[in-house]
Structure 1
Amino acid sequence: MAARKHSGRKIRLLKKTRQNSAVPAWIILKTKRKVRSNPQRRQWRKTDVEVG
């Protein structure tokens, strides 16, 4: 990927990176394991990110 990205694209990529994280352990404990997985989880090779 190009090193020079416009700031809007960079912000959108950062948001997608944050969304791709796992559910924190304290939330799993708090919800008594009802919430265990992140449905927005994405594998970088398999799904494309439409950020422009």
Structure 2
Amino acid sequence: MGANKSTPRKIRLMSKLKQNAAVPAWIIVKTKRRVRTNPKRRQWRRTDVGVG
């Protein structure tokens, strides 16, 4: 992807970046380890972002 990006595309990429975070430790503790993984987690090399 080129260095020059439009603002809407940047916003969509930032949203995907935030979505890719791990589950916080306090949530794992709060749910007694029932919630451990983020189902929307994406590996940058394997899966396409699909931003357009």
**TM-score band w.r.t. shorter chain:** over 0.9
Using structure 1 for the length normalisation, give the TM-score.
Answer: 0.95
State the alpha-carbon separation in 2 of the partners of residues 25 and 49 from structure 1.
26
What's the % identity of the aligned pairs? 69
The AA in structure 2 aligned to 1:3 is A
Backbone CA RMSD of aligned residues = 0.6
Q: Distance in 2 between matches of 1:48 and 1:32?
A: 32
Q: AA paired with 1:50?
A: G
CA positional deviation for 1:3: 1.1
2:22 corresponding residue in structure 1: 22
How many residue pairs align between the two structures?
A: 52
Secondary structure of 1:35 counterpart: coil
Runs of at least 4 residues off by over 3 Å: none
Unaligned runs of 5+ residues in structure 1 are none
Unmatched 5+ stretches in structure 2: none
Deviations 1:6-38 (A, max 9, x none): 000000000000000000000000001000000
Name the SS of the counterpart of 2:11 in structure 1. Answer: helix
